[in-house]
Structure 1
Amino acid sequence: MASVHTLSNGVRVVCDPIPGLETSALSVVAGRGARFEPADRSGWSHLLEHMVFKGAGERSAKAIVEAIEGEGGQINAATGYERTSYQVRCLADGLDLGSAVLADLILRPRLEADELVREKQVIGQEIAEVADTPDDLVFELAQEAAFAGQPLGRSILGTTASIGTATPEALSDWRDQLYAPDALVISAAGAVDEATLLRLAERDFAAARPAAAAPQAPEARFAGGQVVTARKLEQANLVFLLPTVGVKDPDYFALRLFAEILGGGMASRLFQEARERRGLAYAIDAYSETYADQGVLGVFAGCAAEDAEELAKVAAGEIAGLASSVTDGELARAKAQLKGSMFMGRESPLGRAEQAAAQLLLFDRLIPPVELAQGVDGVEPADLRRLSDAMLAPGRAVVSVLGPRRAGAAAGAFHQTLFGRA
């Protein structure tokens, strides 16, 4: 059973032993990310995540990975809008080293000027790669339209101009704010002993000190809009977004089930109608993306340009009609799929460690699996109808179209079908 402890400086520690395993996962997660960046520091959280691997404590960039890999482990990191995570997978006796290395990365990075110059070039190439990848860029354009003028509407990567202003000193100041102890959770799962983990956490993270000022994330506002970008491509890429609830909302599970019924698998409405019956798209799916206070229901599709307009009408029609016509079988299947994905994820030590850290940062407690299952099972058709009504009431949506010019008609068709206006 997982337990939670708090160090004297506010850093929280989660220990989740899993009997029978020979490996452990250790995640150190900061409850801050790109959403906390002011415009002039856009992309700095991601840049910082890259920079700490260039040297930390007494270890060089090469020594960091050699130390972990030399004991059979793996090390990685990820920056999101609301969290930044550093992860080590290791054998049962590798936790000591893993904790020491992650503490160096988070608390004692070198942030050397010459390495910063090189890493800005690397991230510049990463930004260019997104621009050259249609099925990545179409999501970036949709996100920008959905949350225009807000941190959530800016790319996690930033721009070459915004990361170009970063200096080692300014990046160090941002590190102090981003990784302050009040926002840190150390989470371990697998072959882990509670007393050992607490000793390591005290040894390696008790030195973390509060920041002089804590960054704040502004409230999210879904703007809506149409983004049509003509490109000479073989296929049109489409993203449709609607505003909905955040992860803390009571209708969170209703949203997850709505997305599953709409386009979560081969039995979903969109797959069956758009792909199987009409042959309009090879790839089509629905998803939900949730932040602390806001979420989006999304649909992605790739299709021939001449089919884009009709596909947009089908997607809008399925969204509009789902809640009023959901069957008992559809809802039961969606519940089974959602519980299956949640519990399969818990069979991974890293998945468990990351989930526990996220729950603690969002809810200040761990949520037992049985409570998650009850949340899913408790959703009724009336909940889907209430969610749908609230989602459609503002009359706002985002349509992002990237591909041949004739595919641009999909934008107006989606709005017209859903709201009665282009």
Structure 2
Amino acid sequence: MTVVDLPLLATTAASALDAGGRGTGSGQGGVVGGFTHVVHDGDGGAVVTRTVLPCGTRVLTESMPGLLSATVGFWVGVGSRDEQPGHLGSTHFLEHLLFKGTTKRNALQIAEAFDAVGGESNAITAKEHTCYYARVLSEQLPMAVDVLMDMVADAVLDPEELERERGVILEELAMDQDDPTDVAFEHFTEHVFRGNPLSRPIGGTPEEILAVPRARVWEHFREFYRPEGLVVTAAGGLEHAEVVDMVVRSMADAGWDAYAPATPRERRTRGSLDATTPQPDWGRHVLHRPVEQSNVVVGRPGLVAGDDRRYHMTVLNAALGGGMSSRLFQEIREKRGLAYNTFSFGGSYSDAGYFGMYAGCTPAKTDEVLRLMVEELDKLAQDGIGEVELAKVVGQLAGGTVLALEDTGSRMSRLGSAELTTGEFYDLEETMGRVRAVTPEQVQALAQELAEGPTVVQIVAAEQN
């Protein structure tokens, strides 16, 4: 089993090597002044290797023998929570605008580069990071790295494209508002994280998108899109040294210097944030929309990222609402026929987290379904989980984890999360070992904590006559 620290500086690299990583010395992959270490060698022959370039950019790869494709992601540790007054909406704006042209490529050329080889490219904005990614045949990986680096390092944010994309983003936000489930979750998050930057919607509001000028979006881009804040992760049929070489060469082509000394941007931690502790807006909140179903979310604050009890939460969620045999699904759908979809969920960030349960039901059944969700959590808190149910849940999690890691995109994302969030890499055996080590008492104790005290209830209900 392997847990490896991912140090930011060469002077602290020994901690990673002592924890199980294998150093390969500085200068590997043509990088002088940086350092490289093998993070993990296992999981069916897959090898995880990491290089920190002199400029602070971190490159992590997972070589998966026998695959003919690869997924690569360019991660920037900036999300919607990092926007300052005047910049609100800029993070999501940039996710769109980076596909709209650089000094070397226009928007059509960026799109054609991937379409011409049957590849896929996209991006995602989150509360604490942004990722631009592509999946291509392994032989096309140099092209994917070059295009993504060009976008991240040399985007022009053309004024005409910006105004055109402003309309596209407004349409995207309008589409989201037409999805009552999205609306319910967004407002639930707003109420749980009230007073903290995490409460802001990831995509921004229509008012923010309409108001933010190009100058502010450009300032946001120049502040956060820098070599020392970039993390590149890739998984699939690849060689680490070749990927590092691709990154270094594409940096030079885009105007960045891989050899200019810089310290990698520090990871976000609870202690490093100057943010207000969330003050949840407890109670029942109802929004009326022209819908046929009520979308009901109930929950409260949960665990922060890196909490030692995160594996307890994983097991709890699987037992309570993680599949067709889960307690919520069996009680609300199978036994009573009150909902088509019901589940539990959790989310963790650097300084706050949430836990909740969801169901969609006919308006007349709203109160009954809400009561049943709360009762199922209470039962788990009062009676705990038996050994047979725990074994079933562990088997479910083991199978789901292995199946997820059959996908290069999942492995690429695992590397990005390890580098940006925890600073630790857990191999499959270690991850499942920690899941299997969870006891019934630990699950019950966490359930008791989550069931205690007030809750936030968000309902998107049918319009009243």
- Regarding TM over 0.5, the answer is yes
Once the two structures are overlaid, the 10-residue window that deviates more, 173-182 or 259-268, is 173-182
2:154 match: 108
1:120 match: 166
The amino acid across from 1:146 in the alignment is V
SS at 2:426 equivalent: coil
Going by fraction, where is helix more abundant, 1 or 2?
Answer: 1
Q: CA 1:102–1:306 in 2, change beyond 3 Å: closer, same or farther?
A: same
2:234 match: 188
| Superposition deviation, residue 233 in structure 1 | 2.4
| Superposition deviation, residue 217 in structure 1 | 6.8
1:410 match: none
Of all paired residues, the percent bearing the same amino acid is 31
| Superposition deviation, residue 281 in structure 1 | 1.3
| Superposition deviation, residue 279 in structure 1 | 1.7
Asked whether the equivalents of residues 42 and 157 of structure 1 are also in contact (C-alpha less than 8 Å), the reply is: no
| Superposition deviation, residue 79 in structure 1 | 0.6
Whole-Å Cα distance in 1 between the matches of residues 228 and 277 of structure 2?
23
| Superposition deviation, residue 369 in structure 1 | 1.4
The amino acid across from 2:425 in the alignment is L
Q: Unaligned regions of 5+ residues in structure 2, if any?
A: 1-46
- 2:401 pairs, out of 337, 342, 345, with 342
Q: Unaligned regions of 5+ residues in structure 1, if any?
A: 407-422
Q: Is it true that 1:359 corresponds to 2:418 in the alignment?
A: yes
1:282 match: 340
| Superposition deviation, residue 14 in structure 1 | 0.6
1:156 match: 202
The amino acid across from 2:179 in the alignment is T
Q: Is it true that 1:291 corresponds to 2:349 in the alignment?
A: yes
The amino acid across from 1:239 in the alignment is V
State how 1:12-411 maps to structure 2 within 5 Å: 12-205=58-251, 207=256, 218=275, 221=278, 223-225=280-282, 226-323=284-381, 324-393=383-452, 395-404=453-462
| Superposition deviation, residue 314 in structure 1 | 0.7
Whole-Å Cα distance in 1 between the matches of residues 54 and 125 of structure 2?
27
RMSD (Å), alpha carbons:
2.1
Whole-Å Cα distance in 1 between the matches of residues 274 and 80 of structure 2?
9
Once the two structures are overlaid, the 10-residue window that deviates more, 233-242 or 4-13, is 233-242
1:40-73 deviations in Å (ceiling 9; x for gaps): 4232111101011111231110100101221232
Asked whether the equivalents of residues 384 and 444 of structure 2 are also in contact (C-alpha less than 8 Å), the reply is: no
The amino acid across from 1:291 in the alignment is Y
The amino acid across from 2:278 in the alignment is R
TM-score (ref. length: structure 1): 0.90
Once the two structures are overlaid, the 10-residue window that deviates more, 266-275 or 144-153, is 144-153
Q: CA 1:17–1:222 in 2, change beyond 3 Å: closer, same or farther?
A: farther
| Superposition deviation, residue 19 in structure 1 | 0.3
| Superposition deviation, residue 104 in structure 1 | 1.0
Whole-Å Cα distance in 2 between the matches of residues 390 and 153 of structure 1?
22
| Superposition deviation, residue 388 in structure 1 | 2.2
Whole-Å Cα distance in 1 between the matches of residues 226 and 455 of structure 2?
37
SS at 1:359 equivalent: helix
- In the comparison of the two structures, how many residue pairs are matched? 404
Whole-Å Cα distance in 1 between the matches of residues 172 and 339 of structure 2?
29
| Superposition deviation, residue 398 in structure 1 | 1.2
Q: CA 1:334–1:220 in 2, change beyond 3 Å: closer, same or farther?
A: farther
Whole-Å Cα distance in 1 between the matches of residues 146 and 403 of structure 2?
30
TM-score (ref. length: structure 2): 0.82
Whole-Å Cα distance in 2 between the matches of residues 224 and 384 of structure 1?
27
Q: CA 1:142–1:77 in 2, change beyond 3 Å: closer, same or farther?
A: same
Asked whether the equivalents of residues 130 and 136 of structure 1 are also in contact (C-alpha less than 8 Å), the reply is: yes
